[in-house]
Amino acid sequence: MYIIYNIIIFLAFILYLPVLLFKFIRGKYREGFLERLGFLPSELINKTWGDRVIWLHAASMGETIAAGVLIKRIREEYPAATLLVSTISNTGRSMAAKNEMIDGVFYFPLDIAWIAGKVIEKINPALIIMMETELWPNLIKKASKAGCKLMLASGRISDSSIKNYRYIKPLIRDVLKKIDIFSMQSSIDYERIISLGAPEERVYCTGNIKFDRFDGLNLDVNHDELLKEFKLDNLGPIIVAGSTHEGEEEKLLTVFKEVKKEYPDAVLMIAPRYIERAEQLLKDFKERGFNTVLRTRIVNYDPGRDSIILVDTIGELVKLYSLADLVFVGGSLIPRGGHNILEPAALGKPVFFGPHMFNFAADTRDILAAGAGVQVNDEKELAAEILTYLSDRDKLCKMGQQGREIINQNRGAVDKNLEFLNRLLPEKKTEKILIVRLSAIGDVIHSLPVAYALRKAYPDAEISWLVEEKASELVLANPYLDQVFVMPKREWLAVFKKNKIQALKMFRSFFKKVKSRDFDLVLDIHGLFKSGLSTYLGASSLRYGPADGREGSTLFYNRKIKVPEQKMHVIEKRLALAAAVGAETDEVEFGIVSSRADRERVSSLLQACGSKRIIALNPYTTWESKNWPPEYFARLADLIKNKLNYVVVFTGGSGDREGIAGIINLMQIEALNLAGKTNLRELAELYRRVELFIGGDTGPMHLAAAVGTRVIALMGPTDPVTHGPYGEGHLIIQDDIDCKLCWKRSCPAGHNKCMKNIGVDRVFNKTCEILGVERYESGNQC
């Protein structure tokens, strides 16, 4: 039967495609067109990771409104869950988008097998809740196959639906077997769903959750002020007609004409089901001699002239019902099946409706049995009943009171539905997250705030980091991480030169260990081929990375994160990646800590400095184009010592030690050469103890800034906005020449002027400025 169904759906799609494209060109279906074909926004997909993704489907605005109370309870019960809502109608989507408790809203995809499967794969929901009558065979089949739990909430089977389903009973029986729980509105719906093939042990009669959304109904509006806004405070009876359809409004005009004979000051508010019809209705009404004003132009309303208000807004119907003396619910004078009659009843308003209520049969029976509404056969009968009740206010009020009572008596369905949801939703497990940032030192420092952001967002998660040896010391001691995988890149390369097979075995064994952690999510914040490959080998079903990743890294991601295009510091870009997986924060914490051994080691290295104040100079970077001339550092160090009486400490890697020794030989005074004498944690502790760091764009500069030390950054080929020292209190010196920001490791012009043009006196004056002493002029004291 699925084959036949899919052939029919496919043929219908092909046949309707020209019409669809024509309407698309005319602008009708442009909104959400791609979403209906399964192409969901990356911003929405990036939210859907972990084991608590709940997808609630409500076809129209009515179902969306009804689901509101269930959505509220789900959010209260599962505050950390990702809650998505899909709709079919534009108005339903607009209504859902206003609900701040929902994490994402999208248009329901076409029920074509490959489209449904693609959406299920991308969203990976733990539970799908289908409201009322939404039974889509391909979606249900694909979801069940993927291990997703399925629930029909506040289910109902209308008179027309039961007839239609019986034509495809073998298919519908198989579909129903895949649904885990059926929570039906009434005993009739209960019996009908079982007769179609639903397993009886999974079917429950729980009532309609629409009753619960009226619990403590608060309109957040002053009734008198609302009357004043509509200029209705001194007029006759107010009749509100909600959710009317084409063919009904002209019948209502006939009814209203009869009412006006008895009550000349009567006012009729008409809220069409589809507000895009409002302008045409306005024209039609005026042509028939009825003075009419649109809700959006209510300031132009003249109580002495106008008698009809045409509602062209969304979401105000309940508020308007509250003003009514009596309510007519549309879709019932013509064969559309009616609309929600419980809403006005909950407000204590007498409800009138026509003969065609087959989509709300159970509600109709309840309202009529309670004496809370009046059903009529046509507009003539409607006019007569309205006039009868308007002439007897006590009878009218009693009907409204009985409506409110039936609502109060039938509440509680949402609690039962929540019990089923609790039963179906899997037990919360500890999320396992792997961060991939392999190198280099400065880039790893820029990425450390991501660990804090993830820890803050997911306090119970197991958070790990994959890093190369060179920068591993900063990561290993990070308090926001549970585990660090240190990639022995140098060892692999050494073995590879001698025994390639053995090196590959070591590589495979390492990633087998990473894979064994069974990560729920891997987040690459490096964006290069090696990190993309490492992300893929992490073997998670959710592999996130930057959409602008280089070297083909994006081939390894199945979730691409679009980072902000505006220029910002690289730390903020890293945090934007974290925000895309739900870890949004305005706080920047690096988590760089020093052990007792680190502190003792640094105290030993600085013992010769005694109690004197210290400035750290870091002359070398990994790019030749970033290096300030060595002789400039020598002269600057002499000025700092002679003019300011600070101790100068040179820092760097072991490969910088010889070059720094050469700088010291050019100096008039002695300085401390600690290049290669510390590991990264010890270097961080050393920078905490100095008053100022001076150097180029390199890892040590970013380390100094990360631990809160003030920095004077000497910058040439790189951009200080994106790669300068992060935070406040720093100074940046960059010469304004045309070839700056070339981003080349070696100067393309061969002159390195962007660094050479930064004079020693200029840097020393900035040193005086940041330390709060008088400026220095060449040849004078500072």
Could you tell me which residues come within 8 angstroms of residue 777 by beta carbon, excluding any fewer than 6 positions away? 761
Q: Which helix (H) or strand (E) holds 505?
A: helix 500-515
Residue with tokens 């505006």: 566
Residue 679 contacts residue 597 (beta carbons within 8 Å): no
Residue 150 contacts residue 180 (beta carbons within 8 Å): yes
Closest of 601, 591, 587 to residue 475, by C-alpha: 591
Annotated catalytic residue within 31, 35, 43, 63: 63
Helices 680-689, 596-605: crossing angle, 10 deg rounding: 60
Cα 28 to Cα 346: distance, rounded to the nearest angstrom:
36
Could you tell me which residues come within 8 angstroms of residue 464 by beta carbon, excluding any fewer than 6 positions away? 432, 433, 434, 435, 481, 482, 483, 484, 485, 517, 519
Cα 640 to Cα 487: distance, rounded to the nearest angstrom:
41
Query: Using CA of residue 495, residue 501, residue 507, residue 513, what is the dihedral sign?
Result: negative
In this structure, the strands spanning 373-375 and 351-353 are: parallel
Residue with tokens 């009753």: 211
Q: How many residues does the chain have?
A: 782
Structure tokens at 696: 């180029």
Cα 54 to Cα 61: distance, rounded to the nearest angstrom:
19
Buried b (16+ CB within 10 A) or exposed e, 602-638: beebbeebeeeebbbbbbbbbbebbbbeeebbbbbbb
Compute CA distances 706 → 577, 588, 664, 674, 680, whole Å. Answer: 20, 9, 28, 20, 12
SS3 272: strand
Could you tell me which residues come within 8 angstroms of residue 600 by beta carbon, excluding any fewer than 6 positions away? none
Cα 299 to Cα 295: distance, rounded to the nearest angstrom:
9
Which bin fits 551, alpha (ψ -120 to 50), beta or left (φ > 0)?
Answer: left
Cα 607 to Cα 601: distance, rounded to the nearest angstrom:
10
Compute CA distances 527 → 535, 549, 552, 589, 595, whole Å. Answer: 10, 4, 9, 22, 32
Structure tokens at 444: 């790893």
Cis peptide before 440 (omega within 30 of 0): yes
User: Radius of gyration over alpha carbons of the chain, in Å?
Assistant: 36
- Please confirm, yes or no, whether 691 is among the known catalytic residues: no
Hey, which residues does 326 pair with through a beta bridge? 239
Just list the catalytic residues.
Answer: 63
